[in-house]
Amino acid sequence: MTTPIPAPFAILGEIRTAFHADLLKSGALRFKANGKANIADGSSVASTYLGRRILEDLKAEAESVDVSPQTGGKLFEKAVEAFLGNALEAMAAIAPAGLSTARLKPIWLYAQYGHLQTLEMIAKKDKHVRLAFGGDYLIKPDVVIERRTLTDDEINRTGRLVDSEIASLAALRASAKPMLHASISCKQTIRSDRSQNSRLEALNLLRNRRGRAPHIVVVTAEPLPSRIASVALGTGDFDCVYHVALPELVEANSALNLSLGLDESEQSKKLDMMIGGGRLKDIADLPLDLLL
């Protein structure tokens, strides 16, 4: 009898595994000296348990490099950008032309928000303007996906779609600046102040745009479903929240319920609500969602 040849591992799965390895190697995800996961709230039994189980599933070592929370946040952002860059490269055959990643670039560098640079210049000269508008619109997303404009040759590659008179104002063709395709807010963990910061950024991205709204998403490693819900549920400021290890979180939560003798906990209900309602997905879902 011939032994069947196993199917190759999905490329996005391989990129996801490499992403986790990057997070662990850099110390963005790690066990602290006290044995608790750095993403866990040590004062919460549930958070501590879930954080530990997730890191164990990702094959984190008991001892790893020690980094400050601020440094860990930056390493988290870099790993997310690298993951998206690798995914875009792998999806080149189905992705729109001209997509690339960047970090911490001000939104006025992009076509939908170029007018904010003028507003900032005026505000610097006039204190009354500064008081009226504040500085909330001066956003530098943690990670962005940008899309360059296309040349006429690219647009007309398969036929003469445009000429000097047709579609001359279309942003993909006419803009002198690239388009902000997506804004990714990276939250290694979620606390109330951090969730409000992400919401404020999202609202300003929507209110201050001229043209198409970018994708607006959050990527997190937060282990506690109730804290993820503080961002994922509500008025829909974001397209969706993406967890770096959602299947691992679901499995850890089931194990926690079993250890507590519960069929379903409040944390489980929130987790099911977010996943079932399309408000929480795994990081591997993000690259394909960004192609919409």
Cβ-in-10-Å burial (0-12, 13-18, 19+) of 153 comes to exposed
What domains are there in the chain, each with its CATH number? Answer: 11-155+167-289 (3.40.50.10010)
The pLDDT score that the predictor gives to residue 137 is: 64
The pLDDT score that the predictor gives to residue 117 is: 82
The pLDDT score that the predictor gives to residue 217 is: 97
End-to-end CA distance of the chain: 45
Instruction: Look at residue 53 and tell me whether its pLDDT is greater than 80.
Output: yes
- 3-state helix vs strand vs coil in the chain, percent to 5: 50, 10, 40
Q: How far is CA 217 from CA 76, 89, 104, 270, 280, in A?
A: 15, 20, 15, 19, 10
- Span 180-234, pLDDT tens digits: 999 999 999 998 666 678 888 999 899 999 999 999 999 999 999 999 999 999 8
- Span 122-135, pLDDT tens digits: 777 777 766 766 66
Dump the DSSP string for 53-72. HHHHHTT--SS-----HHHH
Report the predicted TM-score, pTM, of the whole model to 2 decimal places.
0.92
The pLDDT score that the predictor gives to residue 266 is: 84
Q: Sign of the CA dihedral 118, 120, 126, 131?
A: positive
User: CA 219, CA 242: separation in Å to the nearest integer?
Assistant: 5
